[in-house]
Chain A
């Protein structure tokens, strides 16, 4: 079932929460339109700060607002937020330990044909190396909504990133969500897809193809990249014969390498494959075209699973 874009759910959830809690403040860098926050700005003009196209300043201002007691959401395209403002994230948020939530919108290759300037396939890798910041990549509307609700009172720095396209429904409303705990989506015995964020829907579609071939799939969505739920990962891994990680991110420094690190340091021998963007001059196209090209179509993921089990 197709749901709304996670971006829309983020904006709706934040507006609902901010109406009830006037300490919530949103900071944007000419990004209220792209962040679906126009309505927020109209309904709660005293709870939105606009800094213009100045992402470094955005992050610094977020830190200052948090320091005087505000519950702060800094919203900007993930590409600019995490590259241009990296030092502000490192020093003013993480090192200074201000409980700011930075929201990287239109993450991964969401901006499609706008090209590499607008793509954030580095954000998880660079933030993984920054101490004292949690990283959350929700898959569907449910995880997005729950992560924003939890973020309001999260006591330490937090980064959340997602895309802007309508999403498949993955979770039920009565599922549980907690930052720092991975989410089991389906359980099987042959191959496990480990996803983060919106690649979960592609793994889910791949699992349907594999089901017809009598291949049994597990899917876990590691919506929290940091701190990583190694216990869940290892527990689920022990029940399958092969593991495939799928991320809308560079193969370098993201989900896949995190999983590889855990596997190798646990002395486990299992068939393992990382699917992400390779280190090359990337191709152009819509988000879907680019993901398909780099082996993230459901068909290709199913083929990879089929091969790895042979």
Chain B
């Protein structure tokens, strides 16, 4: 997909995220909006994961460690035809498989996440498995920046480096906020670049809301042979909707009817301007 098509997708995806959260009665609104461009580029241009090959062991993998922004993942998987929009509209309803964190009951979901600090170890295990079998597949995993306080993340990085996992791609959704406030006030994690480099990873930083920058950086993988790849994707939490951007309160806030209408109106204007 070219970058224009990806940009259009991102606006449409944001509308879907707002729709399903508003209709489902709950969701992680701003975090889903910060990471949707990353998922857009991955699923449309990079991963080559689709309903036809999902049951095969011979394919790339995507593990969403920051499970709470599952609405972004559902949105992209729906667009990849893993399930219908009608199914997705059952989000949060009784007996629906579409719950507030990724579950393998939903087609296209690789691993059950929700508790933070788990996905990276699992991704490391997958990447080691591919290395053991000399298979050419890559494992992509998306982590939140607040999640980096979990000690298990740093355990996993040691193993990733030890086993020279250049088939592992770690993406940090660096939106700077977590449920309580700014990451640098809740529990400072900077200097992130230095920390990751000192753990033996090859690190690049991009604008994580720029589909062209993301597309470019993913195509440069492996950055170096024998080194795990890590991308700090600098994003804006709530990206795309003026009154949600960078507002802590929107971490798990449900839009009111008025807020929902205003958000959709903003996105419709973006669509108009785009065309």
Contact = CB atoms under 8 A, between A and B. Distances in A.
Interface of A: 25, 46-47, 49, 51-52, 54, 56-57, 59-70, 87-88, 91-92, 95-97
Contacts of B155: 51-52, 54, 56-57
Contact of B128 (A54, A61, A69, A91): A61
Nearest to A63: B122
Contacts of B57: 68-69
Identify whether the interface residues of B are mostly helix, strand, loop, or mixed.
Answer: helix
Nearest to B151: A56
A91 to B, nearest CB: 5
A25 B104 CA distance: 24
Contact of A64 (B117, B121, B151): B121
A60 B156 contact: yes
17 contacts: A52-B155, A52-B158, A52-B159, A56-B152, A61-B128, A61-B156, A63-B121, A63-B122, A64-B122, A64-B126, A64-B127, A65-B126, A68-B125, A68-B130, A69-B57, A70-B132, A88-B118
Given A64-B139, A88-B121, A91-B118, 15 more contacts: A52-B159, A57-B155, A60-B118, A60-B125, A61-B122, A61-B128, A63-B125, A65-B128, A67-B61, A67-B110, A68-B126, A70-B132, A88-B152, A95-B112, A96-B104
Nearest to A100: B125
A291 B57 CA distance: 47
A59 B156 CA distance: 11
Contact of B159 (A51, A96, A97): A51
A91 B130 contact: no
B67 to A, nearest CB: 10
B123 interface: yes
B49 to A, nearest CB: 13
B159 A57 contact: yes
Given A25-B132, A56-B155, A57-B159, A64 B118 contact: no
Contacts of A66: 125
A119 B111 CA distance: 32
Given A51-B155, A91-B113, A92-B111, A68 B61 contact: yes
B114 interface: yes
